[in-house]
Amino acid sequence: MPQQNVQTKVLRTICPDAKGLIAKITNICYKHELNIVQNNEFVDHRTGRFFMRTELEGIFNDNTLLADLDSALPKGSVRELQSTGRRRIVVLVTKEAHCLGDLLMKSAYGGLDVEIAAVIGNHDTLQTLVERFDIPFHLVSHDGLTREQHDSAMIEQIDQYQPDYVVLAKYMRVLTPGFVQHYPHQVINIHHSFLPAFIGARPYHQAYERGVKIIGATAHYVNDSLDEGPIIMQDVINVDHTYTAEDMMRAGRDVEKNVLSRALYRVLTQRVFVYGNRTVIL
Amino acid sequence: MPQQNVQTKVLRTICPDAKGLIAKITNICYKHELNIVQNNEFVDHRTGRFFMRTELEGIFNDNTLLADLDSALPKGSVRELQSTGRRRIVVLVTKEAHCLGDLLMKSAYGGLDVEIAAVIGNHDTLQTLVERFDIPFHLVSHDGLTREQHDSAMIEQIDQYQPDYVVLAKYMRVLTPGFVQHYPHQVINIHHSFLPAFIGARPYHQAYERGVKIIGATAHYVNDSLDEGPIIMQDVINVDHTYTAEDMMRAGRDVEKNVLSRALYRVLTQRVFVYGNRTVIL
Amino acid sequence: MPQQNVQTKVLRTICPDAKGLIAKITNICYKHELNIVQNNEFVDHRTGRFFMRTELEGIFNDNTLLADLDSALPKGSVRELQSTGRRRIVVLVTKEAHCLGDLLMKSAYGGLDVEIAAVIGNHDTLQTLVERFDIPFHLVSHDGLTREQHDSAMIEQIDQYQPDYVVLAKYMRVLTPGFVQHYPHQVINIHHSFLPAFIGARPYHQAYERGVKIIGATAHYVNDSLDEGPIIMQDVINVDHTYTAEDMMRAGRDVEKNVLSRALYRVLTQRVFVYGNRTVIL
Amino acid sequence: MPQQNVQTKVLRTICPDAKGLIAKITNICYKHELNIVQNNEFVDHRTGRFFMRTELEGIFNDNTLLADLDSALPKGSVRELQSTGRRRIVVLVTKEAHCLGDLLMKSAYGGLDVEIAAVIGNHDTLQTLVERFDIPFHLVSHDGLTREQHDSAMIEQIDQYQPDYVVLAKYMRVLTPGFVQHYPHQVINIHHSFLPAFIGARPYHQAYERGVKIIGATAHYVNDSLDEGPIIMQDVINVDHTYTAEDMMRAGRDVEKNVLSRALYRVLTQRVFVYGNRTVIL
């Protein structure tokens, strides 16, 4: 009986805080004879919200487990139970290779437990690189299309791969609200600045003009407002007066790819909870 | 009835890992009508050890709470229940002022919830500084004393203040095993190197000689082996070829005081668990 | 003959870039039998501007040295020759102690070669702390004064000490243009955010609201536009979802004081050149 | 006449410190009508050694320029004049892909001005990856060979490509003195620890056992003593009690590849001077 195999799954709970929540949830896991491999929780006392990530091992009966949880948790609770393991992504690109290259390397040689189902570009610059790794590349040019038409064409290509997440690896186009809503909490972007500084175009040139001594990058979920979604991860490096905007750009590429890949690692291991415009990472 | 006041306490549990531990502990808290303000746990799967820090709010009956826990937890469990709030330390110094100064400032003006009961030096260099902050300073010179005699004299001075912790703020003497055992897991040291690099004397000179590009500092519990106790916190800064050993020393002072103070913050909030030669910080 | 004593001085040159500048300047130093202890230069190719800091040792005849330089350098050159060594500052404060405390400690016990001539507050909160270090404290309350009147009263107090620099150690008042122009390139501020993010009031609360994962501090020269002067130094620390705005504030204090003190170290050693809204640090 | 083309070259000088050195060198450049694009120098006052890197632009007559320098510089001076631009490397690997992948990406898509002439492995694990980038891969197995025989076979393969540098991108073999001496100051290694901590085998496991809170990587020139050559670059990341040795290894890979690539960037731009067991980076 295959359902009797020992499996590992992650239970994620978001609900209004209340006395006894951890006891209730862990009691149910105990009753189901599931072993808690790892458990993390957080209470946001400002909003009275409870977050819990429970990594469980055992023989699962998903339906009765979730039913038991539903009857124990307060109204307004959200809980998900998902198997661990390899996730599937589609990567969107324009012309820059560094973030894509890092994802291709880590998918093929370790570092991210992810299958890159396809790469889609609005230019064909990176086609050769993608095909070197035996992954399908699709060109969806925006030439002559409205933004809405182009995003629809992108969605069509993406959806044939049924990805868990859509990763913008230096995809230099603003997405329409329709696109964003089509993939709720599934679109992850790398922004080449330390948000919220230097929102908008050419952040390295802005950074140079302002004479900052540190530059950075930000991985975030995409929501309707450009450059404004919940931040997952940020990192920085020092620069000095000898850096031109081009030097900042070159040095920043390593930060961008590292931040994107580290953010994705946490998303893929189901550690990132979104609540309002913030993330809780357990 | 004073025992009916609402209090905040921290329950710390270390025990062999077993199924249902979180459920058991949180059930007991729930039964005692205690609210879990914050809960963190960690399972070291390599050694099969379970660590949990539970910050509780409510009306405590310590005896029945601990008795309930003892009957529920596996053999070999350690649990402590301590009130939160201000702790008391004695600081040992030699001649360098920077770590001491930071502790004095944070104790008096915020940043560490700590009372510095006294400062004890084997030199009187820092007496004036300490007295500026209206804190008693004791000189316990090591002149003409064996190491054992000197440590005994130190213990005598320290014990009259009944501190929770003894903080070595650049105390440049090796402690005897007798001293260390007198304060189990209570002595915290700042070592002016990124341990385990440059163990031993004059670490900045060693770092200079080796031509390293990063230097650091390490806050750790003191155990019998010099420079070998469980590490609580480390931090580093970049250096380059223009740094002499003296420059490294000057720049390193800021790292030392920051690392010591950040480590102490975690110790004082009862977040640091020691297990073997490692720390778990929850 | 006292003028025959060996001295160390710093020559700082800013001029339009031209072929042979380094040769010309160093030839003159050589002709004057001055030894170059350390030399650093930078050419900003975008603006065609040349910067050079030359640390010289020998017997100086300032007048003939500067005259020789003036005849060799292109029109529009700025050159300064200043002795090295201890500088004098006046510190302005409001209520927060941490930056002031670090300056007091480093002035008294090493780390900054600086004399704190006086501390001036618009509140008397920090009077005791300052007097503990035997330094004059002046209260210049802003109660009932216009901004211009208050700044005039501040200037009056400051000017009796003839400081080289005015350091704003969490002085929480906006300065008038008149004040800023009175001390050109002499006023150094620590801003409790990673500029240009979170310009304006309550930056830690802004950072919390935005859900950032890194916070920072910025030391900069003050110019007419609030929070907009040339940046000298920045640093950051990681934060996460467990940090409230108050936690960020507490953790940020260490960054603020470190950044201010490291920036001041470079200013005091005459390493910072201001050009437009940028700094060149040699 | 091709020799009249404007070129950019780097002049690197190491010599005993003496009065007037900068003047002498820059005078000669000026006399040759060469423009100084960028100049950096450093005096190691402890050893009395002078280092200078001068980036020059103009029409070069190498022979007369070097002859002029030789007659002006003190005895024991070393000076090199090299054109800027693309360098050629051979990369040695074993089984791990991450450092190699980063070099391949940066060579092909920007970030390092370098031609990877060939990759040589003592295993064939990475052959496919290398060939994806249309670069020759050679397997030089160590099976049945003495260390000397194997290194001779490696040298034979390497030398047919006449590389400027040999880069060990996680090449997990100790090199013989003969190999090292064959490529003086030309072999660059990435060591997966923050040297000098955890010298020797399995540094991540050592780091885990010691319970450190920071791990790092070190790029260095290889000399006769294993893990002991002059350090070019180091970087670190934070870890905590939740990291197993395997987690450290995974997280460390990003640090390793970043440090190697940043070190190589400085080597390729001729910024790294080796002196004794130290590097000066100008």
pLDDT single digits (tens) C171-187: 999 999 999 999 999 99
Asked if C221 has any chain A CB less than 8 Å from its own CB, the reply is no
Asked if D44 has any chain B CB less than 8 Å from its own CB, the reply is yes
Q: Which residue range(s) make up the domain with A95?
A: 87-281
The CATH number assigned to the domain holding C179 equals 3.40.50.170
Q: Catalytic: which of A68, A102, A151, A227?
A: A227
Residues 6 or more apart whose CB falls under 8 angstroms from that of C181 comprise: C224
Asked if C52 has any chain D CB less than 8 Å from its own CB, the reply is no
**Rounded Cα gap, residues D180 and C171, in angstroms:** 58
pLDDT single digits (tens) C8-51: 999 999 999 999 999 999 999 999 999 999 999 999 999 999 99
Asked if C230 has any chain A CB less than 8 Å from its own CB, the reply is yes
D228 and D112 together in one domain:
yes
Report the side by side order of strands in the sheet with B35-44. B35-44, B49-58, B7-16, B78-83
Q: In D140-241, at which residue ranges do the beta strands (DSSP E only) sit?
A: 165-168, 187-191, 214-221, 231-238
Amino acid at C198: F
pLDDT at B3 over 60: no
Is residue B197 very low, low, confident or very high in pLDDT (cuts 50, 70, 90)?
confident
**Rounded Cα gap, residues C161 and D172, in angstroms:** 64
Last residue of a domain, one of C83, C116, C145: C83
ipTM score here?
Answer: 0.94
B188 and B200 together in one domain:
yes
**Rounded Cα gap, residues A235 and B20, in angstroms:** 38
What is the CA angle A235-A236-A240, rounded to 5? 175
Mean pLDDT of A252-263: 97
B25 and B154 together in one domain:
no
Last residue of a domain, one of B35, B68, B83: B83
B51 and B126 together in one domain:
no
Asked if D200 has any chain B CB less than 8 Å from its own CB, the reply is no
The number of distinct structural domains making up chain B is 2
Could you tell me if A163 and A90 are in contact, meaning their C-beta atoms sit under 8 angstroms apart? yes
Asked if A33 has any chain B CB less than 8 Å from its own CB, the reply is yes
pLDDT at C214: 95
What percent of the residues of chain D are helix, what percent strand, and what percent coil, each to the nearest 5? Answer: 35, 30, 35
D87 three-class SS: strand
**Rounded Cα gap, residues C216 and C260, in angstroms:** 12
Q: Catalytic: which of C68, C227, C240, C254?
A: C227
Of the candidates C240, C241, C278, the beta carbon closest to that of A241 is on C278
**Rounded Cα gap, residues A209 and C253, in angstroms:** 28
Looking at chain D, list the stretches that DSSP marks H as alpha helix, in order from N- to C-terminal side.
Answer: 21-31, 62-72, 98-109, 127-132, 147-159, 177-182, 203-210, 245-268
Asked if A281 has any chain C CB less than 8 Å from its own CB, the reply is yes
Enter the pTM of the model: 0.95
Which residue in chain A is spatially nearest to C275 when comparing CA positions?
A: A211
**Cβ neighbours of B210 in D, within 8 Å:** 195-196, 231, 277
C105 three-class SS: helix
C262 CA: distance to closest CA in chain A (Å): 13
Mean pLDDT of A62-85: 95
Question: Of B50-64, B119-133, B193-207, C174-188, which range is least confident?
Answer: B193-207
Asked if B246 has any chain D CB less than 8 Å from its own CB, the reply is no
Q: What average pLDDT is seen over chain A? A: 95
Asked if B184 has any chain D CB less than 8 Å from its own CB, the reply is no
Residues 6 or more apart whose CB falls under 8 angstroms from that of A216 comprise: A193, A194, A234, A235, A236, A237, A252, A255, A259, C214
B72 and B109 together in one domain:
no
Longest dimension (CA), chain B: 67
C104 and C43 together in one domain:
no
B264 and B202 together in one domain:
yes
Q: What average pLDDT is seen over chain C? A: 95
What is each CA distance from B169 to B119, B121, B139, B150, B218, in whole angstroms? Answer: 10, 10, 15, 18, 12
Tokens 């290259």 correspond to A101
Mean pLDDT of A129-144: 97
**Cβ neighbours of B209 in D, within 8 Å:** 277
C53 and C96 together in one domain:
no
The CATH number assigned to the domain holding C34 equals 3.30.70.260
**Cβ neighbours of A44 in C, within 8 Å:** 241
What is each CA distance from C101 to B102, B106, C119, C258, in whole angstroms? Answer: 8, 9, 11, 11
Chains in contact with chain D (at least 3 beta-carbon pairs closer than 8 A): A, B, C
Backbone angles phi, psi at B214, to 5 degrees: -140, 135
Q: Catalytic: which of D44, D124, D227, D254?
A: D227
Give burial (CB, 10 Å; 0-12/13-18/19+) of A98.
buried
Cβ contact, residue pair B213, D234, below 8 Å? yes
Amino acid at C33: E
Is residue D196 very low, low, confident or very high in pLDDT (cuts 50, 70, 90)?
confident
Beta bridge partners of C209: none
D62 CA: distance to closest CA in chain C (Å): 19
A97 and A18 together in one domain:
no
Tokens 């000017």 correspond to C159
Is residue D3 very low, low, confident or very high in pLDDT (cuts 50, 70, 90)?
low
Chains in contact with chain A (at least 3 beta-carbon pairs closer than 8 A): B, C, D
Cβ contact, residue pair A101, D98, below 8 Å? no
Backbone angles phi, psi at C20, to 5 degrees: 85, 10
pLDDT single digits (tens) A31-61: 999 999 999 999 999 999 999 999 999 999 9
D122 and D237 together in one domain:
yes
B122 and B196 together in one domain:
yes
Residues in chain A: 282
Tokens 């944070």 correspond to B106
pLDDT at B1: 47
Asked if B76 has any chain C CB less than 8 Å from its own CB, the reply is no
A257 CA: distance to closest CA in chain D (Å): 10
A216 three-class SS: strand
pLDDT at B226: 65
Among left, alpha and beta (phi > 0; psi -120 to 50; other), residue B63 is alpha
Could you tell me if A252 and A243 are in contact, meaning their C-beta atoms sit under 8 angstroms apart? no
Is residue D1 very low, low, confident or very high in pLDDT (cuts 50, 70, 90)?
very low
Last residue of a domain, one of C54, C83, C112: C83
Of the candidates D197, D233, D242, the beta carbon closest to that of B197 is on D197
Cβ contact, residue pair D43, C40, below 8 Å? no
pLDDT single digits (tens) D225-272: 767 899 999 999 999 999 999 999 999 999 999 999 999 999 999 999
pLDDT at A1: 47
Which residue in chain A is spatially nearest to B33 when comparing CA positions?
A: A19
B78 CA: distance to closest CA in chain D (Å): 19
Question: Of A200-209, B67-76, D140-149, which range is least confident?
Answer: A200-209
pLDDT at B2 over 60: no
pLDDT at A47: 92
Residue of C75 and B225 predicted with greater confidence: C75
Could you tell me if D35 and D26 are in contact, meaning their C-beta atoms sit under 8 angstroms apart? no
- Catalytic residue at A151? no
A143 and A175 together in one domain:
yes
Q: Catalytic: which of B70, B164, B227, B235?
A: B227
Give burial (CB, 10 Å; 0-12/13-18/19+) of C153.
middle
**Cβ neighbours of D20 in C, within 8 Å:** 26, 30
C97 CA: distance to closest CA in chain B (Å): 6
C281 CA: distance to closest CA in chain A (Å): 7
